[in-house]
Amino acid sequence: MTTAFTGGNISERIDLQFVGPATFARQPACSYWHKLDGADVAVLGVPIDTASNYRYGTRFGPRAIREVSMFHGFGPEGVFDFEDEVTYLTAAEVKIVDAGDSGVIYDDTRRSLANAEQAVRGLLDAKILPYILGGDHAIRMATIAAFSGQKPIHVVHLGAHLDFIDECNDISWGYGNPMRWASEMKHVKGITRLGPHNMATVGRKDWKAAQARGSHVVSLRKLRALGVAASFSHIPDGERVYVSIDVDSFDPSIAPGTTMISHGGFSYREGKDILREIARRFDVAGADFVGVSPPYDPSGITSLLATRTSLDFIGSIFHERAKRRIRH
C-alpha cells in the first residue's frame, strides 16, 4: 500500500524553527562542562525567582528565551547585519553551546544560588565565557561571586534600579541586594550603572552608599545627554568587565514581561548601541540577562527582545575579539 502523504523520500525533513529540542538559537546542547572543549561561550540558565518580593515568573525565563530563540537559529555561516554590512556569529569567530540550567532547589534561594555559582565557576575553569539567562535579579550575587580567583572585573549594570539595598524586611539576599553584595567583593574593581530612572525602592541613603562604595551612576537622562561613548569615559580601554543586563532597563512597551516595570527605559536600538560600545571598548569576561517573566507577556516579545539583544551582544563580543587578533 502506498502512503498518500509522502511527496518524496519519507526520511526527508526541513529544519524549521519549531522542530527539535529548544536550545538557545538552535545551537548544540552540552550540559557536561568537562566536554565543552572548543566552545567559546556557554549559555547557562538559572531559573529561580524565589528571591522576588512582588511579581514572580522569572523561573520560566530561560525556557521561554530558548523557545523563542529557535526563531533566530543560525548555522556556521553566521548572521548578516544589513546596517553594519558585517556578518556576525560565524563559525570562524565563535562557537556557542547551550549548557543547560544550574540546579534549583525549590524555595531554597541560598542553595540555588550556591549551585549557580558552582556552575559558572565550572564554565570559567573550562576557559569559556558564561552567558547566563535568569531568573530573578538575585542570581547576580552568585554569578559575580563566581569570578573570585579570576582576574579582577569591573561590573557594568544596565538596569532601571540600583539594586543596592542593604536590607529590606530582614532580607539581605533578595533581588534588590545583588549590587550591594558585588560592591563588597574583593575581585570587583568598580561598578558602573547605566540607565536608572524614575522613583524606586532605593532611598537617598542607599544612593549615597552606592556612590561611596565606588559606583559610577549614569542615569537614563544623563546617558542620553552625554551619549554612549562618553558614559564610559571613566573606564580604561581594555578593562575586563562583567555585564549584567536587566530587562527592566528597557521600556515596557517592548518588554512588558518583567517583575519590576519602569516606564521610560531603553529602546532596543539604545540597548544595542550600548552593548556594542562595551564589546568594542572592553574585554567582556561574562554576562547575564535577567528579569524576564513570561507569565506577564503572553505575546512573547520580551523573550524575543532578550534573544535578539543577547545574540547581538555575543556577536559583537567575538567579532571585536577577531578584529583585535588581526590587529595584533
Per-residue pLDDT tens over the stretch 213-246 = 778 888 899 999 999 999 999 999 999 999 999 9
> Which three three-digit cell numbers place residue 242?
562583567
Residue 11: what pLDDT? 55
Q: What is the pLDDT of residues 14-27, one digit of tens each?
A: 567 777 789 999 99
Q: What single-letter amino acid sits at 210?
A: A
Distances (CA, A) of 273 to 14, 143, 158, 195, 224: 35, 24, 12, 13, 12
pLDDT band, very low/low/confident/very high, at 253 (cuts 50, 70, 90): very high
Residue 274: what pLDDT? 97
Query: Does residue 189 sit in helix, strand or coil?
Result: strand
Q: Is the pLDDT of residue 166 over 70?
A: no
By CB neighbour count within 10 A (0-12 exposed, 13-18 middle, 19+ buried), where does 146 fall? buried
- Say which range, 24-33, 172-181, 279-288, has the weakest mean pLDDT: 172-181
Q: Please give the model's pTM, rounded to 2 decimal places.
A: 0.91
Residue 321: what pLDDT? 96
pLDDT band, very low/low/confident/very high, at 174 (cuts 50, 70, 90): low
Tell me phi and psi for residue 130, to 5 degrees. -85, 130
Instruction: Kindly report the average pLDDT of the chain as a whole number.
Output: 87
Mean predicted confidence (pLDDT) in 25-47: 89
**Parallel, antiparallel or unpaired: strands 86-88 and 79-81:** antiparallel
Q: What share of the chain is helix, strand, coil (3-state, %, to 5)?
A: 35, 20, 45
